[in-house]
Structure 1
């Protein structure tokens, strides 16, 4: 704003679009005496007077009217009260003409103690006037349908557009009501809205409804209607005017969006290919089509879950091998269908071949003619059904997702008389695209889940045997398909001296990573078990392995940007000795075993709980218990006892009741216990390993104390040979004599007393020599000039296998021989 050298403040209460907003208008600042002390360029543009000619002079000379001092005083007083004033005032232009402006005066304010007013002006433009002929043409030819109804809701006047909407001529409408002319057009509801307008004088806008026209009675249209009262000069309501616009495209777009959104919630609820395909068919019938089939390529439905990759070039196969994955029709029993779910199909709309699947372009047949020679020649059976059930229009959309061909979906109508149109193709494509993505997700998941299950089952023991020490049975259930396989595993490992190791574990996580980690741990346990480690030492070594694997996989995951790392596992390891009937065990974060005595008493032994594998820095503690012959010893994973309620105590109580069946068949008991505790699929794997104990009596074990005297070797050797012959193993007498001679001689020479010899007859004949030394023998390959070093080499050649294990008193060197015929 141009002004003298003085600065002034404008009231901050004046904002955009306010009564006194002058941001875009001509403006001036007047003193209380009526002198102009501020003049903007907008004011100069409006009246032509430059600032130099106006500033300092009186504002009265700018008025094109007689000055009214009383009115000016009243305006000033109002502005002093903080309210402001506005009105139409004629002003004098520089060229002498009068300019009528909308003049606005602000509330009074002060500039350096002087009372001032901000005045803004906006020129009033003349209003447009139109002739009657123009107005009549506008109303008649308007693209909006319009009509006037009297107080009895009878047509008085309507324009051409409304006449076309309904398809009823103007002459037949005048003097009649809407409900009489178009009874199917929600006439009663619309007339009810008109009566409301007559009564309340309040307009009703944008009422949308579906209707039809006599000119096209089979195709639904959508209309938006507004109603307002007609009032004459004496304020009497004389009728109602309503305006109608065709909003079919907008309605269809909204319905399309709504249907697509609903389809997104209805399809893909499971990771199952067939279920997803059927959800597509169920959703489309009858809201979109009367007959829907979903045909998928055979590889998509196979266990492998592979699809057909879209090639960049090259000829397509003559016919794609597909199977019907889903079917839905409006008729009971789907008589229109030639093929049923699961049947092999080769349907592609003639004259299209496999190129249709590759191109991915939908096929629209607005009018389906069964007499078409292509159909009669290539699809005779389907042609007969088309003719019989009146299928008259068809859309076929190839199913593709992520550059993969999955199959084709076909939509047809028979009872619905409307033919498919291009807009319907867009909807069909969107529905199929969403379903295809869900099918592809299910296909990929099925493939990965199958691979994980296959890997997991291949890593689990294929057959279990407890020798003569244990009768064993197992049951394994993978996790529910939606959660992926877990890392549960179990094993039965024969050890030396007729002992048997039992192990059960659970790797944290699901999927192939958990299955692979489970396989690595199972292999490690077998290796450590072959070294005859005590349970607590074995778990300590296994803990170190898990820590190392976790570090390796964490480093690799960081390098590859993955989050799939091996985070830990739980495990329980037990060793049963049928000679002493003692069972030594230790656990790493795993549930305790369950023991059922021969009389049916069930209890859970109190075993110290070690940390889960992978934490490190904490020790494991072993516990030893005695098991009566015929006892039931069970190992399991947490999935068996957690159940849907996640109550472990309740789950253990249920397990107690399920196993309280002494003498029951072990396989039957194992299966029934799992079915009883886990009747429905669970989100975690479930493993149960049951073992019934046996004991080796005195008739199977003989032992001798060996004096620390080389001369005693001959006597002990002879006693061992006599025992072997007494057991009926004459053919093993010579090899037993040599093995006993070498092992006892080595013990006398290099070990510490006491020394003992034990022969054990089980599935194999075992010779064990115990001593108090902790130094393990080493197998040597002696040279031809060496006098010694051939003893253990000879034992290794004669025995089926040999080894050493440590005890609390020292060590035991053992050698096993195969028993002929066993």
Structure 2
């Protein structure tokens, strides 16, 4: 803002050049604008406030208003004079009036801020005057400015969706206001003595001048955006016009005025000099004056556009969020450059996908992602709603802009063109909104590819777009396109990483054989949102379950990709029934083959619900917590720590831990227990405490842990797996030793039928189970070595049948020919069983199959 000349003491403010002749007089005064927040702190301090009160913006912002302004007496108790070493410190003299705006002159209350009368809390607009603290200027002080100012103020509470704030307008009544009173309100001798002047409000609609206030007020609030200053203006006009009351006879609207800038004076002088020279036929002098005037105007235009680009560059690109960036780009140009800005983007950009393929055509869909304007609220919302998609025909200026990549200028939209454009919006009547307006369509492009475009419209009363505006629009579009492309690339990469990670995280079943499972995964913050933490549950032969939690070092796509490779390797080796320590050994070998930077921690546990035990091995991971059902106590399991996966040449050890039905196992990654500035032992102790909290459901138990430990400022992702180890009762397990002879096959069928009859499953599964046991046992009798065979039935979430022998060679599924007498046993098992498989054991192998239980006969889980 240019320097603002002060009006002379007692002088008369000049009539504003835009004020029409014959208009009602207005009080054009330099105004101080201050906004006080809910906590009494200054949140806005204008240039006028600096000049009036002598404090810079940096000194005032964030400080208590009571410490800076005499207006503080409106909010706080007024003090009394205090004797000090330097003399008497005078209190602030406050007189303020609550105006209820009923039009009744008597409906107002003047309140003095004294100890007897507490100050008003400003439930309504308030006006008044005050004097600055300190003694009046000494007589004979000459031209020194008085230290005691007579100030008028208007205070309005600002309501809305945000917190309560107080807007204060203040003006110096010692000079310009009194001069205005003498000019407007002087009557006889009263004028010579200086008329009485006071601050007040005029009820809405009773006094002209509100439109001028609405136009000028945003100009003196440069730190507020147009939308916010517009809302403030609407509240002022709704509650009443700030006015100057002169001798109880006249009211004049208050309008902010900063005089005439020096550059405007210089241009006016040059214009007058050129006109006089032309009149005197002095071509040389006139030409020199006009040349100097042209240079002055060119300089002003260039400076204005540089300031505009600087403001736009500061306003956009503050975030890599695509939606926020689009909003910033739209708001950066309204109302400084245009009155309406509509932003359209291609669907690939909106979706955060890859770069758009090929040039756009008449079938390309453009998504309207933002509409910003300074028209009355709601005027554009119903006609051109945000979120709509539409193509643009080839004959429109929009199509020409997006295919050529160059701005398209329409100085004024003629009526035929307006109707042609409006026809694209079918049932919506957009014609009145665009007819006669100036339009500029600018492309939003990056790397010579058009990502979208902006439609800029100016009101009919505003100067139309010109060639200079076309250049400005092209530069604006280039900057905005680059920012949008950065946001698009970031959004695309983030979507790829999240999709990759989501595809690798398992969909864990809440109930496995003999245990209930609950999991939680929390991505990291914006700086480390994609990580390598994972968990998994794997069904193993013998109704066992593998429980896995791992953490790859680092973040980003590399960590997520490595996590996927390790998780796949764990599933593969677990399906082969690999011992926990040997499985970690295999992971370590794999990580070294993949690269030297592959490092991870992993905790692998196998739960056997029949034996009631956990077999666990650890590779540099934080230990798990076991919560005992017997007493509710919790403790960290003491396990050999081991080295992280990828270190190489280290040993891993399997530990067997007995567990009881109802015990809970809690496994997590270090992102849950590590807190910056604290020892990890503190986090592990908090994990034990929160895990021991009783909960009726596993999901509730997980949520309790997350609420207790997941810090708001964490940078790492979190994986949490909790398992309630229910076990399988002894009555649901049956085991028989058999001899490896053919006569044991019918005995095995009979034993299976009898046990299924006891479990009330003979009718549904008896024949199928007997047939499949017969086929597998026959294979063992014919092909296995050793003298003993074992048959085991387990009733859990499915019916498990196992036949074990001492031969380590695994049977293979073969395709028998039509004339073959053998080779169909496993084919029958594969066709009739829900699942089947083979695994090696310490003494041989086990062939198993599962049959789904009838829905109404599934074995209920005891409540824990």
Q: TM-score, normalised by structure 2?
A: 0.57
Contact 2:343 2:455 in 1 (8 A): yes
2:541 equivalent in structure 1 = 496
Aligned position for 1:733: 770
- Measure how far apart 1:399 and its partner are: 0.7
Give the structure 2 partner of residue 590 of structure 1.
621
**SS across alignment from 1:379:** helix
Deviations 1:764-795 (A, max 9, x none): 44444667x69445559799999999998998
Equivalent position of 2:605 in the other structure: 574
Select between 318-327 and 613-622 the one with higher mean Cα deviation. Answer: 318-327
Q: Distance in 2 between matches of 1:248 and 1:650?
A: 69
Residue 804 of structure 1 is matched in structure 2 by 839
Q: 1:462 to 1:710 in 2, by over 3 A?
A: closer
Alpha-carbon distance change, 383 to 813 in structure 1, aligned in 2, over 3 angstroms: closer
Residue of structure 2 in register with 1:670 after alignment:
702
- Indicate how the Cα distance of structure 1 residues 741 and 393 shifts in structure 2: closer, same or farther if over 3 A, else same: closer
1:374 to 417, 426, 434: 417
Q: For residues 508-549 of structure 1, what are the alpha-carbon distances to aligned partners after superposition, in whole Å with 9 as ceiling and x for unaligned?
A: 444444434333322221111111111111111112122222
- Partner residue, 1:237: none
- Tell me how far apart the structure 1 counterparts of residues 772 and 410 of structure 2 sit (CA, whole Å): 88
Per-residue deviation, residues 455-501 of structure 1 (Å, max 9, x unmatched): 33233323525433111122334445664533332221111111111
Q: 8 Å contact 2:521–2:719 — kept in the other structure?
A: yes
SS at match of 1:212: helix
| 1:366-397 deviations in Å (ceiling 9; x for gaps) | 5x35x54212442384441357xxx8544321
In structure 2, relative to structure 1, the CA distance for the partners of 1:483 and 1:413 (3 Å cut) is: farther
Larger Rg: 1
> For residues 138-192 of structure 1, what are the alpha-carbon distances to aligned partners after superposition, in whole Å with 9 as ceiling and x for unaligned?
xxxxxxxxxxxxxxxxxxxxxxxxxxxx9xxxxxxxxxxxxxxxxxxx9xx9xxx
Q: How does 1:433-512 map to 2 (within 5 A)?
A: 433-464=478-509, 466-480=511-525, 483-512=528-557
- State the alpha-carbon separation in 2 of the partners of residues 679 and 663 from structure 1: 22
Counterpart in 2 of 1:816? 849
Corresponding residue for residue 305 of structure 1: 353
User: What is the CA–CA distance in structure 2 between the aligned matches of 1:296 and 1:735, rounded to whole Å?
Assistant: 62
CA change 1:385–1:543 in 2 (3 A) is: same
Of 489-498 and 683-692, more deviation after overlay is shown by 683-692
Q: Does 1:361 align with 2:394?
A: no
When residues 794 and 340 of structure 1 are mapped into structure 2, their CA distance, relative to the original with a 3 A threshold, is closer
The whole-number CA distance in structure 1 between the counterparts of 2:826 and 2:393 is 76
Aligned CA distance change for structure 1 residues 659 and 413 (closer, same or farther; 3 Å): farther
Deviation of 1:738 after TM superposition, in Å, equals 5.0
3-state SS, counterpart of residue 610 of structure 1: coil
CA distance in 2, matches of 1:374, 1:575: 75
Does 2:432 match 1:384?
A: yes
Choose the corresponding residue for 2:331, options 282, 295, 319: 282
Residue 271 (structure 1) aligns with: 320
Matched with 1:327 is 371
The CA distance in 1 between the partners of 2:824 and 2:437, in whole Å, is 93
Q: Which residue of 2 aligns with 1:541?
A: 586
Q: Distance in 1 between matches of 2:379 and 2:741?
A: 96
Range moving further from structure 2, 426-435 or 581-590: 426-435
Moved more, 798-807 or 780-789: 780-789
Matched, 1:689 2:727: no
CA contact (8 A) 1:765 1:817 kept: yes
TM-superposition CA deviations, 1:204-250 (whole Å, max 9, x none): xxxxx862259779x9xxxxxxxxxxxxxxxxxxxxxxx99955545
Residue 618 (str. 1) matches residue 650 (str. 2): yes
Identify unmatched segments of 5+ residues in structure 2: 1-16, 18-47, 52-260, 272-291, 424-428, 856-864
In 1, Cα distance between equivalents of 2:358 and 2:757: 74
Between the aligned partners of 1:333 and 1:645, the Cα distance in structure 2 is 50
Equivalent residue for 2:145? none
Quick one: distance in 1 between partners of 2:813 and 2:441? Answer: 78
Superposed, which structure 2 residues align to 1:686-765 within 5 Å? 686-704=718-736, 722-727=754-759, 728-729=761-762, 730-731=766-767, 732-737=769-774, 739-740=776-777, 742-743=779-780, 749-750=785-786, 757-765=791-799
- Inter-partner Cα distance in structure 2 for 1:711 and 1:299: 71
SS in 2 for 1:461: coil
TM, length-normalised to structure 1? 0.59
Q: Which residue of 2 aligns with 1:199?
A: none
State which of 332, 335, 340 in structure 2 corresponds to 1:291: 340
State the shift of 1:265 in Å: 4.0
Kept after mapping to 1: 8 A contact 2:695/2:701: no
Supply the RMSD in Å over aligned alpha carbons.
Answer: 4.4
Q: Closer, same or farther in 2 for the Cα pair 1:577/1:820, shift >3 Å?
A: closer
Q: CA deviation at 1:278?
A: 0.8
Listed as ranges, the gaps of 5+ residues in structure 1 are 1-165, 167-185, 190-208, 220-242, 552-565
